């Protein structure tokens, strides 16, 4: 990559280095990220790169905390107050949003579910358009924790989301709330209409394949993604499968 322009503003030069680090491989990633942080400690993407190079999840989550704090400082309180609801549409907010989402997922992986849920909720408050797909991660957490009332509220917030993942999540939320009810059966029928390939993966009739890189609606590839997201929530809910 070309050397950053020394006449550019500091954070702009730092972000250029961070992008180079994100595109680099091996030790070069670490070197570029550290160069960025030597100029400014407020570069969330540089911290994020270092976090992804950590060998332990515990080490990664600490660096992701630094990444989120850096993004917070770089944006400043006025941006959070003025632009809440419009994040992600603003390029300078994206390093912060990327870092906070990765931190939430890492905390979830460590079993800190309540902390992860709080991060997911804040990401949706800042960006209700949900360009990052946070709602899918949040609804899975809520269903796995049997917090079906909160899951119902989230499903209502994104009732036009579409997709089989949302349809199967909605069916499970209804079943958790009231068992084999009319609402649960109606939602299950809508889920089956959205993708009929999901049930064999939930029941174990077919082995769960690796999630594909892409898919079309209603396809077996989409079903693999739906089952990968929701299998644990379904199987841990007595009677659901």
Helices 134-144 and 164-178 sit at what angle, rounded to 10 degrees? 20
Q: Which runs of E-coded beta strand occur in 79-121? A: none
Of 139, 132, 75, 143, nearest to 102 by C-alpha is: 132
For 131-183, how does the pLDDT look when each residue is reduced to its tens digit (9 = 90+)?
999 999 999 999 999 999 999 999 999 988 778 999 999 999 999 999 999 99
**36 close to 27: Cβ distance less than 8 angstroms:** no
Instruction: Name the least confident of 3-7, 60-64, 186-190, 215-219.
Output: 3-7
Q: Is it the case that residue 2 has pLDDT exceeding 50?
A: no
Q: Residue 211 burial (CB < 10 Å; 0-12/13-18/19+)?
A: middle
Mean pLDDT of 202-206: 94
For 71-117, how does the pLDDT look when each residue is reduced to its tens digit (9 = 90+)?
999 999 999 999 999 999 999 999 999 999 999 999 999 999 999 99
Length reported for the chain: 241
What is d(CA 91, CA 210) in angstroms, rounded to the nearest whole number?
32
Give how far Cα 13 sits from Cα of 20, 32, 73, 74, 163, Å: 11, 12, 17, 14, 40
- Count each helix (H run) and each strand (E run) in the chain, helices first: 13, 0
């Amino acid at each position: 990559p070309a050397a950053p322009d020394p006449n550019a503003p500091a954070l702009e030069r730092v972000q250029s280095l961070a992008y180079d680090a994100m595109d680099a491989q091996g030790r070069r990633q670490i070197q570029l990220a550290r160069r960025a942080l030597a100029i400014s400690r407020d570069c969330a993407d540089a911290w994020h790169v270092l976090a992804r190079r950590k060998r332990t999840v515990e080490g990664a989550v600490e660096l992701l905390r630094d990444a989120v704090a850096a993004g917070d400082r770089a944006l400043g309180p006025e941006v959070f107050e003025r632009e809440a609801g419009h994040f992600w549409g603003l390029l300078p907010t994206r390093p912060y949003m990327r870092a906070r989402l990765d931190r939430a997922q890492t905390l979830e992986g460590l079993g800190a579910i309540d902390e992860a849920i709080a991060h997911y909720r804040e990401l949706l408050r800042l960006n209700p358009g949900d360009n990052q797909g946070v709602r899918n991660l949040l609804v899975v957490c809520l269903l796995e924790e049997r917090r079906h009332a909160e899951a119902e509220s989230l499903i209502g917030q994104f009732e036009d989301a579409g997709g089989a993942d949302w349809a199967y999540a909605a069916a499970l939320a209804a079943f958790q709330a009231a068992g084999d009810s009319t609402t649960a059966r109606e939602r299950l029928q809508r889920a089956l209409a959205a993708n009929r390939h999901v049930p064999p993966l939930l029941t174990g009739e077919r082995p769960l394949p690796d999630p594909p890189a892409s898919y079309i609606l209603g396809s077996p590839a989409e079903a693999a993604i739906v089952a990968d997201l929701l299998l644990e929530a379904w199987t841990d809910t007595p009677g659901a499968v």
